[in-house]
Structures are given as structure tokens and as C-alpha cells.
Structure 1
Amino acid sequence: MISEPELEDDGRSDRPPGRSGAAADPGIPGQRGAAAGPGPGGGAPDRGQAPPVVVGDGRPPPTPRRTALTWGLWGALAASVVWGAGLTLYHAGGPGLGGYGPERDLCLDAPLTALSQVLGGPSMPQATSDETEAVDSAVCRSDLGPAPAGSPLDASDARGGVRALVDLRYVLHRQTDPAPEFDALPEPKSPGSALHLLRVPGLGTRAYLVTDSVGDLPPTLRVLDGRAEFTLSVRVYSSYRGHPAAPSSVRSRYVAADLVSDVLAPAMADDLRTVLKTVKSPQ
């Protein structure tokens, strides 16, 4: 039987001498025993050496982690600054308050020009104010009169002229909306009295004139403008000529309904319209 001739190593084989079996191919990744270039100094290969960096492959270089963190910190800082600015504007009467803010002397912003024409000029104004985190408030009380001759409210009275006590109040609600409670009527002072509510157009968000059927409650104009609430009441009374009665001994005069609607209410609305513009203006 003729056998295949054995191949003899003629020195041209690629296998290194003294080793049997298949040689490891350095081009096959992951194969153990793959050939590697000499390490630093010509020694053994450095298996911890980083792979070569490919330059110009069209991909952007990765963003360093420190740079990403820096941008994140700047973003957080910017958001904090914006939030702080918004909080400052809120407390300064900015967005949400309609431009209204604290009022330290309401009498300076309430000349009461229209009421003075029918009741006489103001005297002895008294202003108070208070500021809290939730509510800012201010009050101006003044005495008007005596009513000039020829005024519809100057009734012929043997004991003297006609004067009026004016009470103006301003309340700014910083944290709550006063609109749900604004429409509620106050309680009548007398069991037999009835309160009448009249809508006054063109004044603030909405406005009402409240009158009493028996005169226990003076004519009162209530105005709501956003979160700012204004109340103006005018109590007309008689006094000895040249000697106004003290508030504790005021004899209130009942003003006829037609004089309230035709004379007193328009003057009150004009004065409150001026007060709203002045208080809302930047200080």
C-alpha cells in the first residue's frame, strides 16, 4: 500500500522552530498568546498601555466630565438668580400685585378734590399704615367742610353748616385673593335697616356703592383692583358754624338717596379713581 509522502520541513515553514501545532495569529483579536510589540525599554509587552488614538475620523471629541459639571453649576446658579429676582419683584409690587405696593401716607395720595367741591376742603388729616408679610394696609381719615354756599349738600340749618368725616382705607393682599369675599355685604347695624348694593362701572376690577335705607351706615364705595382693595366712606354731619363737632359727638345727617346717587357717589368715584392711579404709580 502506497502511503502519502510526509512533508518535510525544508526551512521555509512560517512556524517558529521548536514549536508544534498551529501558530497564534497576531491579527486575530482576543486570541491568547498573540504577538505584541516590545514594551518600553525593549522588555516585555505592556498590557496596560492605552490603545492608539484615532485622529481625524470625523467624530467630535468627547466632552470632559469637568466641563459638563461646570455648565450644570452655571445653569443652577442662573436659575437661582432668576428665582430671586422674581421673588424681589413680587415683594416690590411687581407681577401678581398689579403694580401696587406699600403705602406709608395715604393722605398724601388722596387730595379728595371732587368731594371738597361739594363738602369743603379737607382739614386735620390723619394717616396710619402697617406692613406685614401677608397684608399691607393704610388708612387716611380727614374732616371736610364746611360745605360751600350753593352746594347741594349745604342745607339751611340754624345751628351751623354741614361737614363730613371721610374714612379711606387701602388693603393689599399679598398671599390671598380677596375676590371671593369682596362681593359679600356687611351686616346691617339695625334690625330694620336694609343695605343696597349698586354696581359702579369703570372703576378698578369691580366696584360697589353700599347704602343704608335708614342712614345707620354712611355711603361707602368699595373698589377691588386685582389684589388691592379700597374703601371710601363719607359720613355727613351738622356742626356749629366755625366750631366743628368732635367725632365722638357727631350728629350724623341722613343724606337723601337722590343726593347720594347724583352728587355724593360721583364725587367719591372720581376721588377714588385718582387714588388708584396715584397708589399704583411707581414711587
Structure 2
Amino acid sequence: MSESESAPRRSGLRGFGHAGPSPWTDLGRPPLDAAALRSDLLVPGGLWTALDVVAGTGSTNTDLAARARAGAAEGAVLVAEEQSAGRGRLERRWSAPARSGLFLSVLLRPAGVPVERFGWLPILVGVAAASTLGRVAEVDVALKWPNDLQVVIDGAERKLGGILTELADGAVVAGLGINVSLREDELPVPAAASLALAGAAVTDRGTLLRALLREFADLYGEWTAASGDPQASGLLSAYTDRCSTLGRAVKVQLPGGRELAGEAVAIDGDGRLVVRTADGSRQPVGAGDVVHVRPDGG
């Protein structure tokens, strides 16, 4: 771990120039220091080429997709201190108090990777996030298929964050939201969680963001070097090792209102969840909402 990851940096006001309430109003949630982040992360030959921190926006994915269509280079990072229209999978809304989490999107143009393998990118983001939070925040984070970040608090599985990737004129915009300092009374739903509630050793957002972007850059380099092959790059095994869905009884809500029940037995070479049904057949699922079924059927 580098010094910048292990020792939290005092955040400043650089990068904010907006009118309105001071970002230091809540001293427990200081603003990110955009200039310091750029100094640490925008290095020659590295993946990251631009990094902006905005006080607020509707959706970092929407904003960065517009930049992608305007020709922005790979490696652009957009971080928002607050999102008013953050989106998750299935167009679900994502909202949280200002500076209470990490809300960011990254722009990727995977050279030499076939388009049909772009579906592995949200899985790659999830593996990078889970690995980083385990190493830096010392929180055991699992991945619920396809890409929910999950922690266990008092025996209950709760959602810590989520990932949404979108295509934008051949580029990929990958968005990530992680609840960092939310208190119980601030959670959007009881099944949500935050790093603070999970007992994280580190909740400094600058430290976590540096570590996360470095981890992702390393994994992304290995994946692109293998032309996006999930097995050759090690991504498939890294994901299955962290996937809390495998080996569980599940119900999958499929598009069109259909439901598939069975045991989640594998992740295939396309990133699909393979469900073994009661008759022994194996059904690959490429999209759907998964419910983990407890042994008592709950």
C-alpha cells in the first residue's frame, strides 16, 4: 500500500468555486481535494487522463457519456460530491447525502477487446471495488450477481453499493456508487448499508478513491492485455471467488415478468449466471434481478 493510501490527506477547497453552503458545513464529511487527486493519479503512461470533482450533478454517467460522444479520451474520471438523479440497474434511483459516499464514473475505450466482451467491465469494476475495500477498509465485501457490492451486518446481507455501465458511441462509461459514511437513519432502504455501519477501518474518501482507481487500472490492464478474455486475465476466477450468489438457492426475476428458481451453480464465459433448476437443467441468465433464498425459504 502506498503512503497516499495508508495516510489520509487533509482535503482542501480546491476544485470547488461554487456559490452556496460551504462544503465544510459537515466537518465529518469533508470535500474531496481534486488537485491532490490529480497529482497522485494522473501519471505519465497511466490509465487515468483527466479527473474532475463536481459539487453536484444529476448523474455522473450521463455527464461522462456526453463527454465520450464529444470525443473525450479514455481514462477520464468524473466524481460528484452529490447526485440528484443517480441511476442504478433497471433505472432505479440512487441518492445519498452530500459527501457521504463515492459517486463516480470512468470513461473506457478498450482497444483490442471485442465488443461482445464489454459485458465483463461491470464485473471488473466490482472485483476492483471489493478487493480495494477488503484491503484498505478491512471490510469483507462480496459480489451479488451481477454487480451489487454486499456486506453482512448482524447476520443480514445488505447492499453497500452498485455498478452501472453504459455504451456511448463505442466507449464504455462505468459508474460506481459506494455508501461510505451514511448513518442508519440516512439509508434509503433498510437493506442498504455503508462502510461506517460495517465497521470499516478507513472511511476517508480520498484514500479509498486513490486505492480504488489504482486497483482498477491494474486489473483493467491485465484484462485488455488478454483481449478481454475472462479466463486468461484471471477475472473469471477473481469474480467467482467473491460471488455470494454461487452455491445459493435463488429466484431470478426475468424480463417480461417471468421467474426462474433453482441453485446458482456457475458463472459462464459470458458472465452469465447459470441456474440449475429442479429438473436438473442448467439455465444461463444474462439479465435479471436475483433474490438469495434462505434455507427456511425466506
User: Scaled by the length of structure 1, what TM-score is found?
Assistant: 0.24
- The structure richer in strand per residue is 2
User: Scaled by the length of structure 2, what TM-score is found?
Assistant: 0.23
Larger radius of gyration: 1
